[in-house]
């Protein structure tokens, strides 16, 4: 099924909320949670330090622990992530980023993708802490989506409530939505796709870590899908080597063909 031609084909560039200075930090947040973030930074000095002290409803992990907490004033449940560099230079660069950091782009991309009908998590705000020499450390605050698991966990059989085949079908639906808008995710992997179940019982997929997406409406759906599915398949093969998932080469080839067929039909 193709998406409506008049909805979200062009990237939008939402205006970010005005940053508010708090000591050596600046807070950018959606109005619904702004007072929470300001109060927490004033009291604790860091969103991440505050979140680390809260009771955790479930374990989340990225390059470093990721915390789930409920904001005290608004009652919104959020994920608080401290940004770290990856790659070979990570031991040198650590958690220091050149300003303005990637956080503003991530918040804008989140809003733009959601406006375009792409399922992704909602970035509610971020806090940057001055690290000198034009550098900053940053915490990103995202609305928590309950009862989800990443594709890697599903493929490894660690989520009995989510089956592999419906999860892969939902993943193809997500990839088709991205491809129809000319969106390429250069870091698409099994940890960047979240799966959940609707009240109807059907499975849905969300894409995360979207600050790096390349959105070009002139790009053909076939090109976008080819690049995205190739990147995801590399990740799935790596995941298979690490965890012994039951993903044969034939199944992966069939998945690739199904993904390409999905955009050929539009």
β-pair partners for 14: none
pLDDT for res 90: 63
pLDDT for res 1: 33
**Where does 45-189 have alpha helices with state H?**
47-52, 90-93, 103-115, 151-155, 164-180
Average pLDDT, stretch 17-33? 97
Q: Which domains does the chain have, with CATH numbers?
A: 20-143 (3.30.200), 148-264 (1.10.510.10)
pLDDT for res 208: 93
pLDDT for res 244: 81
pLDDT tens, residue by residue, 67-89: 999 999 999 999 999 999 876 66
User: Cβ(204)–Cβ(230) under 8 Å?
Assistant: no
How many other CB atoms are found less than 10 A from the CB of residue 236? 23
- Least confidently predicted of 59-68, 228-237, 251-260: 59-68
pLDDT tens, residue by residue, 178-229: 999 999 999 999 999 999 999 899 999 999 989 889 999 999 999 999 999 9
User: Cβ(62)–Cβ(51) under 8 Å?
Assistant: no
Is the pLDDT confidence value at 45 over 60?
A: yes
What CA–CA distance (Å, rounded) separates 91 from 84? 10
Is the pLDDT confidence value at 2 over 60?
A: no
pLDDT for res 59: 54
Average pLDDT, stretch 23-34? 97
Q: What are the strands, taking DSSP E only, across the chain?
A: 20-22, 25-29, 60-61, 65-70, 77-82, 97-98, 123-132, 135-143, 148-150, 183-184, 193-197, 203-207, 214-215
Residue holding tokens 């034009």?
134
Average pLDDT, stretch 51-71? 80
What CA–CA distance (Å, rounded) separates 40 from 69? 12
What CA–CA distance (Å, rounded) separates 199 from 209? 26
User: Cβ(216)–Cβ(179) under 8 Å?
Assistant: no
What CA–CA distance (Å, rounded) separates 256 from 236? 12
Is the pLDDT confidence value at 5 over 50?
A: no
Is the pLDDT confidence value at 7 over 50?
A: no
Please state whether beta strands 77-82 and 123-132 pair in parallel, antiparallel, or not at all (unpaired).
Answer: unpaired
How many other CB atoms are found less than 10 A from the CB of residue 61? 8
Nearest in space to 139 (alpha carbons), one of 128, 148, 150 = 128
User: Cβ(88)–Cβ(145) under 8 Å?
Assistant: no
Average pLDDT, stretch 103-132? 95
Q: What is the DSSP letter of 201?
A: S
pLDDT for res 17: 96
Is the pLDDT confidence value at 57 over 70?
A: no
């Amino acid at each position: 099924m193709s998406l409506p031609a008049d909805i979200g084909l062009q990237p939008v560039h939402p205006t970010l909320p005005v940053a508010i200075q708090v000591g050596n930090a600046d807070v950018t947040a959606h109005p619904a949670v702004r007072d929470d973030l300001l109060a927490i930074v004033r009291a604790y000095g860091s969103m991440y330090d505050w979140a680390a002290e809260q009771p955790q409803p479930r374990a989340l992990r990225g390059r470093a622990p990721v915390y789930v907490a409920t904001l005290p004033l608004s009652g919104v449940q959020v994920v608080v992530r401290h940004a770290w560099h990856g790659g070979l230079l990570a031991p040198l660069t650590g958690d220091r980023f050149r300003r303005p950091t990637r956080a503003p782009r991530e918040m804008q991309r989140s809003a733009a993708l959601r406006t375009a009908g792409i399922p992704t998590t909602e970035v509610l705000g971020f806090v940057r802490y001055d690290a000198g020499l034009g550098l900053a450390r940053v915490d990103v605050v995202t609305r928590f989506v309950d009862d989800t698991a990443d594709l890697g966990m599903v493929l490894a059989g660690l989520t009995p409530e989510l089956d592999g085949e419906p999860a892969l079908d939902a993943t193809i639906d997500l990839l088709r939505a991205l491809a129809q808008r000319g969106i390429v995710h250069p870091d698409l992997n099994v940890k960047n796709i979240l799966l959940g179940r609707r009240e109807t019982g059907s499975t849905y997929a969300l894409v995360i870590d979207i600050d790096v997406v390349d959105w070009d409406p002139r790009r053909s759906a076939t090109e976008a899908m080819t690049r995205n599915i190739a990147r995801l398949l590399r990740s799935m093969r790596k995941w298979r080597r690490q965890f012994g998932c039951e993903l044969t080469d034939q199944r992966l080839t069939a998945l690739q063909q199904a993904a390409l067929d999905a955009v050929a039909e539009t």
